[in-house]
Chains A and B, each alone.
Chain A
Amino acid sequence: MMQSAKTQTAKRQIVETQTASDPVRPGELLLSLRGVSKQFGAVSALTGIDLDIHAGEVVALVGDNGAGKSTLVKILSGVHRPTGGTLSFRGREVSLGGPGDALELGIATVFQDLALCENLDVVANIYLGQERNPWRLDEVAMELRAWTLLTELSARIPSVREAVASLSGGQRQTVAIARALLLDPKIILLDEPTAALGVAQTAEVLNLIERVRERGLGVVMISHNMEDVRAVADRIAVLRLGRNNGIFYPDASNQELVGAITGASDNVVTRRAARRARQDPAQQDTTQGATP
């Protein structure tokens, strides 16, 4: 046990010197995936995925339910090991042995299921695994920093000393996002970060994504909300049935995107839109007028 602890600290030091000595250049290629695949038994969740993430860039990852978006995020955060393919971080091939390795590289994640400990309070959850002073936890400093992070997200959390079990879904999501920001990461992976958020909190998260981009971080955002995606993304990568299905830019039409997501230009979404346009042209006009 002593031995493994020693090698682990040694590894940590190497990672630190490599990344710390070398500040991120704007536009630098941070993370690059080549031919990544993941098999769950007989299910091929991902097949031959290629993806690049640059510093100062927001990449949106879209796709239908079960397309493999969360699986991809879990591979990038070290939760799952890929079955095949390579992962390079800043030009160097890496293999993530576990979530700890990803965190050390500077890859922070907000998981779809949030991965919070319900029995611990908000401060403990935000600092989990990263507590200050391991032998004498500095609760005051941690609580202060927690409040600062939460205020930045205009969180509405009554008390950071309540167990997370007592928070609403959106409050929990805010806590999970605050936790991802704690470590000053180089890349943030957000798996449906706004799914449960209110109007103000969603806007705050989108603002935050833009601020994070301006600070030169890479952002991967998964969302089913095309409006949000278009609002902040620099590139939109579409996954379909576990495969790359095209890269789009925010100026792509809705039809193009939906076509790539569902795999056909004649699909349930376009048929519905056409039907509604026939039935009620007036309403169609107003909604279109409201969008820009």
Chain B
Amino acid sequence: MSAEAGGTSPRVPLDRADVRVRHEAGLAGSLRGFVARVRAGDLGALPVVVGLVLISAVFQSLNPVFLSSNNLVNLLFDSATTGIIALGIVLVLMVGEIDLSVGSVSGFASALVGVLWVNQGWPAAAAILVALAAGGACGAVYALLFNRLGMPSFVSTLAGLLSVLGLQLFLLGATGSINLPYESALVDFGQTLVMPHALAYALALLAGAGLALSGQREALRRREAGLSAAPLAGICLRAGLLAAVLVLVVWYLNLDRGVPWMFALFVALVMAVDYALRRTRWGRAMAAVGGNREAARRAGIDVRRITASAFVLCSTFAALGGVLSAARLASASQQAGTGDVNLNAIAAAVIGGTSLFGGRGSAYAALLGILVIQAIASGLTLLDLSSALRYMITGGVLAVAVIVDSLARRSRVSHGRA
């Protein structure tokens, strides 16, 4: 060690001292490193982005309405509700568990809002809060069953799927459906509210600036500490690219109505969860519990509390998704949350790159995954295909996503990146 360190120049960063590792420097190097990572099964967001481009190309060629601003704005409105549910699924998958009842919980939450707000005359905000709390309570029950009785989440949430659906039907009673008032702020939020155009542009630019600034600060701190850091040009390039893409997207959406506030809420939640997963002790513990539960326990992590937090957050997100989909449809009905909501939410998380085997995933998986799912749904609706065909195709896409996950996992194991 000392001979090596003495041989190389003293300005070599601490983490670059090992001569066996080929460290990629500069922009071309970063690109080579990226290709090597993908080869090793560390796919990241690549398959999703490629899939999204392919899907768009196919549907656009079949029906030119598909990529119109109007259709894309609708697509974003629809994405937000199931996307928020998928965000919760990412959290339970992180700790290596599953929640199969998110559809029912979302339907139950929408029924609760309908009954309390419309039938009982509560303030909307209070009804929403109660619905979210009821969702959280469902998650707390699963956590209790899992932590205290050792019930596999697969079974407890399957039981929950039926019981909560029963609660939803009971709440809605004989009428079966409650219409939400069209003039209300909630329905406005779910159906029409969009960001002012200028604000959307400003936020797009702010995102780029934020990325550049935080990247710069990080690189500076690392260099001061004697560690290697990303090159300045690379940081600026990435930030510039992000800003350019976002501005382009905003411009295209602004040709029609603009960026839906509901989608903005979804993105804000994704960013918050992403920060929590990557930059807090809680997030580290989530990944550790999903990766090796016993090792996490021996490191002094309260694994029960971490698992409970995942279940509770998942059900709460599911309830929020349910409330928003009630707003989107301006009704709380017996059909809410049934059908393909469950599958779509889970599929979105997995397609986005969250591993079913626990310990790997990111909040952005929910965002990317739901865009794929909604693009397929929207494309098939435009083609006027039956729901029979839609189910089969969505199921097929989920199967492909899981196969990619398993193959990538196998490749990671053989390349030592598990």
Contacts and interface: CB of A to CB of B under 8 A. Distances in A.
Contacts of A159: 15, 18, 21
Given A143-B15, A144-B225, A160-B15, A115 B284 contact: no
A165 B418 contact: yes
A35 interface: no
Nearest to B294: A115
Interface in A89-141: 98-100, 103-104, 109, 111, 115-120, 124, 127-131, 134-137, 140-141
Nearest to A200: B1
Interface string B20-45: 11000000000000000000000000
Nearest to B418: A165
Contacts of A131: 281, 284
Contacts of B237: none
A140 B292 contact: no
Contacts of A117: 287-288, 291-292, 295-296, 359
A164 to B, nearest CB: 9
Nearest to B305: A1
B292 A116 contact: yes
B222 A140 contact: yes
Interface in B267-289: 279-282, 284-285, 287-288
B297 interface: yes
B302 A100 contact: yes
A116 B295 contact: yes
A161 B291 contact: no
A33 interface: no
The DSSP consensus for interface residues of chain B is helix
B11 interface: no
A147 interface: yes
A83 interface: no
Interface residues of A, number: 44
B221 interface: yes
B417 A165 contact: yes
A166 interface: yes
B217 to A, nearest CB: 10
Given A135-B280, A143-B227, A144-B225, A120 B20 contact: no
B218 to A, nearest CB: 8
A12 to B, nearest CB: 11
B33 to A, nearest CB: 12
Given A1-B305, A165-B418, A166-B417, A158 B288 contact: no
A165 B287 contact: no
Contact of B413 (A109, A135, A143, A165): A165
Interface stretch (A47-55, A149-157, A237-245, A256-264): A149-157
Interface size on B, as a range, is 35 or more
B225 A140 contact: yes
B360 interface: yes
A136 B279 contact: yes
B327 interface: no
A147 B15 CA distance: 8
A120 B295 CA distance: 11
A163 interface: yes
A115 B288 CA distance: 11
A134 B282 contact: yes
Chain B CB count within 10 A is highest, among A104, A111, A140, for A140
Nearest to A129: B299
B412 interface: yes
B287 A120 contact: yes
A115 to B, nearest CB: 4
Contact of A137 (B284, B291, B299): B284
Given A100-B300, A140-B222, A165-B412, A119 B290 contact: yes
Contacts of A165: 412-413, 416-418
Interface string B216-248: 001001100111000000000000000000000
B295 A99 contact: no
A147 B14 contact: yes
A179 B177 CA distance: 58
B301 interface: yes
Nearest to B23: A159
B148 interface: no
A114 to B, nearest CB: 8
A163 B41 CA distance: 13
Interface in B337-362: 359-360
A192 B300 CA distance: 21
Given A98-B297, A144-B227, A165-B412, A119 B359 contact: yes
B79 to A, nearest CB: 29
Contacts of A98: 297, 300
A77 interface: yes
B290 to A, nearest CB: 7
22 contacts: A77-B298, A99-B298, A100-B301, A103-B300, A115-B299, A116-B295, A117-B288, A119-B359, A119-B418, A120-B288, A128-B296, A130-B300, A131-B284, A134-B280, A135-B281, A137-B284, A144-B225, A147-B14, A165-B417, A165-B418, A166-B415, A166-B417
Interface of A: 1, 77, 79, 98-100, 103-104, 109, 111, 115-120, 124, 127-131, 134-137, 140-141, 143-144, 147, 151, 154, 156-163, 165-167
Given A99-B300, A129-B296, 20 more contacts: A1-B308, A99-B298, A115-B292, A115-B294, A115-B295, A115-B298, A116-B292, A117-B288, A119-B418, A128-B284, A129-B301, A131-B281, A136-B280, A137-B281, A144-B227, A151-B1, A157-B18, A158-B20, A163-B418, A165-B412
Interface of B: 1, 14-15, 18, 20-21, 218, 221-222, 225-227, 279-282, 284-285, 287-288, 290-292, 294-302, 305, 308, 359-360, 412-413, 415-418
Nearest 9 pairs of A and B residues by beta carbon: A166-B416, A119-B291, A100-B300, A134-B281, A129-B299, A165-B418, A119-B359, A115-B295, A117-B291
